[in-house]
Amino acid sequence: MRNMETDLLLQIWPRLLWPIIRIIFFVSLGLVVANFLEALNWTNRLAVLARPLIRLGRLSAITGASFSMAFFSGVSANTMLAEAFDQGKISKKELVLANLFNSLPRFFLHLPTVFFLTLPFIHAAALQYVGITFGAAVLQTMLVVVAGRLLLDGSAGEIPLSEKKSTSWQQAGKKSLRRLKKRIPRIIKFLVPIYIIFFVLNRYGIFQNLQELMAQTRLLGWLHPQSLSIVILHVTAEFSAGLAAASVLLADNSLGARDVVLALLAGNILAAPIRAIRHQFPYYVGIFNPKLAVELVGVSQFTRAFCIIVMGLVYYFL
């Protein structure tokens, strides 16, 4: 009993307190950056990168600015959207679409890590796997543009020149800090209890049980029997564990590159929802209200899985 209590105390700092402090810090930093850029009226400048897609999808300059920001910081990009939504500058429809729209820059943000992790393990198959996930991100972006074209009226376009006021850096900084002081209590109010609940659930193995249950699903009957170990390790352990298993099976010719890629895609789809609940949802609660955070994470995971399945089916049949 004493050993269990000691183990719990040792886990509180690295797995509970430090993650909470880190999330609050980065969300606060994101708030300052987002408000600073908005106060300086740089929204339209940042939106230049995505302007053709923005116009085609009837999205606003704020969504374009968030898209550009997402190449460097997902937290700042989401904070920019949350601030715009709270101020009534974008509708809920556009907020959902903008969150999905940022999948492509998020992909490039994590691309070096994913690519250089997969390449040593599965060599040429890494190019296929990364290529398919990139195709899924592009497909999601195109779907957002089409949805925006159909669902939005385009009335929230660029900020009229008459509304753009000259703001000094000092004034922008003061405005950002003022808004941060208003948001911090709400961030702590929702983030801390949610993270504690998730820490307890993880402590008692709830997420591990869910992952194992998903890994044993009968929907994987179409995979090569030996590739199931890759899926199970990908889901129940971590991505690198699945890659290690794939490397061994490739080395002794038990599986071909195609089987390995399909197994990694299946593991990706099955593991993502649980990992999103454990890691993505707590920090979303620090930016959006809990109900909206659930909706955004849910729609994001469903759309992501759909796009990977579509690209995976194309790969499977080709």
* C-alpha–C-alpha distance, residues 197 and 262, integer Å: 34
Lowest-pLDDT choice from 21-35, 37-51, 82-96, 116-130: 37-51
> Are 183 and 8 a contacting pair, CB within 8 Å?
no
Span of 4-18, 19-33, 88-102, 261-275 with lowest mean pLDDT: 4-18
The pLDDT tens digits of the residues spanning 41-67 come to 666 666 676 888 999 999 998 899 899
Helices (H) and strands (E) in the chain, counts: 16, 0
What was the pLDDT predicted at 3?
59
CA pair distance 267, 289, nearest whole angstrom: 30
Helix axes 290-317, 92-101, angle to 10 degrees: 40
219 located within any domain: yes
Kindly tell me if the per-residue pLDDT of 27 is higher than 90: no
Confidence of residue 217 (pLDDT cuts 50, 70, 90): low
pLDDT at 298: 94
Tell the burial category of 182 from Cβ atoms under 10 Å away from its Cβ (0-12, 13-18, 19+): exposed
Specify if 21 maps to a domain: yes
What sign does the dihedral 212-214-216-221 (CA atoms) show?
negative
* Residue 57, in any domain of the structure: yes
Structural domain that includes position 297 = 2-154+166-317
Residue 130 inside a domain? The answer is yes
159 falls within a domain: no
Greatest Cα-to-Cα distance within the chain, rounded to the nearest angstrom: 68
In a domain, 102, yes or no: yes
Percent of the chain with pLDDT over 90: 29
C-beta atoms surrounding 221 within 10 Å: 8
Query: What is the mean predicted confidence (pLDDT) over 168-180?
Result: 71
Residues 140-166: tens digit of each pLDDT = 999 999 999 999 986 554 444 334 455
pTM (predicted TM-score): 0.80
Residue 163's pLDDT is 46
Cα distances (Å, whole numbers) of residue 273 to 145, 214, 220, 296: 24, 10, 17, 13
Structural domains counted in the chain: 1
- Which pLDDT does position 75 carry in this prediction? 84
Which 3 state secondary structure label does DSSP give 71?
Answer: coil
The pLDDT, as a whole number, for residue 154 is 66
* Residue 160, domain member (yes or no): no
Measured between alpha carbons, how far is 130 from 124 in angstroms, rounded to an integer? 10
Average pLDDT, the chain: 82
- Contact indicator for 73, 108 with CB cutoff of 8 Å: no
- CA-nearest of 269, 267, 258 to 308 is 269
- pLDDT score at 157: 47
Judged on CB neighbours under 10 Å (0-12, 13-18, 19+), 294 is middle
Determine, yes or no, domain membership for 174.
yes
Q: What is the pLDDT of residues 62-103, one digit of tens each?
A: 899 899 888 888 888 898 899 899 889 999 999 999 999 999
- Rounded to whole angstroms, how far apart are CA atoms 279 and 274? 9
Q: What is the DSSP letter of 261?
A: H
Residue 291: half-sphere exposure toward Cβ, Cα within 13 Å = 1
Q: What is the pLDDT of residue 93?
A: 95
